[in-house]
Structure 1
Amino acid sequence: MTAVPVKSLTEQTYLQIRDDILSCRHRPGTRLRIKMLCEEMGASLGAVREALSRLAAEGFLESTAQKGFRVSPVSVEDLEDLTKTRIAIEELCLREAIRLGELEWETDIVGAFHRLSRLPDAFAISGATDVQAWSSANETFHSALVSACRSNWLLRIRAMLFDQADRYRRLMAISTKVDRDVVGEHRAIMEAALARNADLACTLIAEHLQHTADIVVELSLQNMDAEPTGD
């Protein structure tokens, strides 16, 4: 039996903890105990420590001297700042993608939208599996929209902001059902992009992202913080 390379095990540990944070299994404010994670995941101390340090550098965790790591808390103020920054970066990426995108770009957008539109809306479901499937398809669609952008730095920043925003959206999805025509919003964005109407596409994407943030604020997301646990 071939042993799994250490690097692969470390990467698997990182991806699992990251997914547990995004899916809200590890809720905001929760203290993550390294020993417990090692036992639960069957991972080495080194792999867990490296994964936690990496997640802290990406903003998913906070590291405190003598107290270890905890999942970064959420707040209305942070969400508002995140949303404003995300909209600015998203518009830059989308404008360049619309300017440079060719037939393959258009085809990818249409295909991603079709798949997303066929899945149960994450705002109307509560099952973890359905939410995960929708979230993955949603990410694919939004990534397809900007895939023709040639700025690697813009795309890296955008991906980081998307993941941070996704944690807020998933918190909302598991907390309540929301009456919202997400398919209609996505369709309008797609049609504007394919029509090469950059101004309209950027206006619609900004409204789409802001709408999500506004719903989270209305749900008083601050009250959903988990109390940090003791060491």
Structure 2
Amino acid sequence: MRSASGPTQLDTAYDRLRSDILSCRLRPGTRIHINEVAEELQVSVGAVREALSRLAAEDMAVATAQKGYSVPEVSIEELRDLTNTRIAIEEFCLRDSIAHGDIEWETELVAAYHRLQRLPEREPSDPTRLSDAWSAAHQRFHAALVAGCKSPWMLKIRGMLYVQTERYRRLSVPLRTTERDVAAEHKGIFDAVMAKDGDLTAELMRRHLTLTTEILVGSAELSETNIQ
């Protein structure tokens, strides 16, 4: 829990490690050195250990006996499984959201879409990396799409899948060999949702999620050393 005066040492360690793992600043398979993290963030070793324990419970870190913690590996097999599962869950949540979403849901969705469209996708200082601000807006937009869904458990599962696929999405950015119009993909999904066309929305979302997988699987630069 965050105190009224600001984040605790645990909050600081957890937020930074989670961000570094999702953004791939900590690459898959990298060992996490607790003392180094504590020194860099100016927090206690205990706070880092507790943060890593929490991340391990969320499958965002791997605890190994006698070896400490590391960033989870990635693989084509897992990516395909995650993508197929997420497509199924997203479709349910989207259709339910369209069926039950009210004017407040539409208002929040419009705001989330507008913010996403106004931000650059890439970091200006490093075009091979996604902008952290854009990534936060992207997460908010995808969450807003399904916010009208009435099933808390389906939304919870969907949120877990989103986080697990985030690292793969970040990895796909520098591996694109052809130009991808992500903004157009989002506009198509947004327009279909606002038109309350469940079939079109589901199809566009399936294409949107599948394309990231295809980029990673089909990249000529992909090798055993950088994804497995």
Q: Normalising by the residue count of structure 1, what TM-score does the alignment of the two structures yield?
A: 0.88
Shift of 1:10: 0.9
Greater shift, 178-187 or 217-226, is seen at 217-226
- Structure 2 counterpart of 1:229: none
Q: Distance in 2 between matches of 1:45 and 1:34?
A: 7
Give the letter for the 2:45 counterpart.
L
Distance 1:84 1:222, change over 3 A: farther
Match of 2:226 among 198, 202, 224: 224
- Structure 2 counterpart of 1:62: 62
- Structure 2 counterpart of 1:99: 99
Aligned residues: 224
Distance 1:42 1:180, change over 3 A: same
- Structure 2 counterpart of 1:71: 71
Distance 1:30 1:157, change over 3 A: same
Q: Normalising by the residue count of structure 2, what TM-score does the alignment of the two structures yield?
A: 0.89
* Paired residues for 1:1-231 under 5 Å: 8-122=8-122, 126-127=126-127, 131-175=131-175, 178-219=178-219, 220=222, 222-225=224-227
Q: Distance in 1 between matches of 2:158 and 2:186?
A: 18
Q: Distance in 1 between matches of 2:6 and 2:120?
A: 38
Structure with the larger RCO, 1 or 2 (CA within 8 Å, 6+ apart): 1
Distance 1:177 1:38, change over 3 A: farther
Shift of 1:7: 7.7
Contact 2:97/2:146 (CA < 8 Å) preserved in 1? yes
Q: Distance in 1 between matches of 2:67 and 2:171?
A: 25
Distance 1:6 1:121, change over 3 A: closer
Shift of 1:175: 4.8
**Identity value in percent:** 47
Distance 1:123 1:150, change over 3 A: farther
Ranges in structure 1 where 5+ consecutive residues have no aligned partner: 227-231
Shift of 1:204: 0.9
Give the letter for the 1:202 counterpart.
A
Q: Deviations over 1:104-138 (max 9, x none)?
A: 21122222222212222349983588621211111
Q: Distance in 2 between matches of 1:82 and 1:221?
A: 20
Q: Distance in 2 between matches of 1:108 and 1:101?
A: 11
- Give the secondary structure class of the aligned counterpart of 2:8: helix
Distance 1:35 1:189, change over 3 A: same
Contact 2:123/2:130 (CA < 8 Å) preserved in 1? no
Distance 1:51 1:31, change over 3 A: same
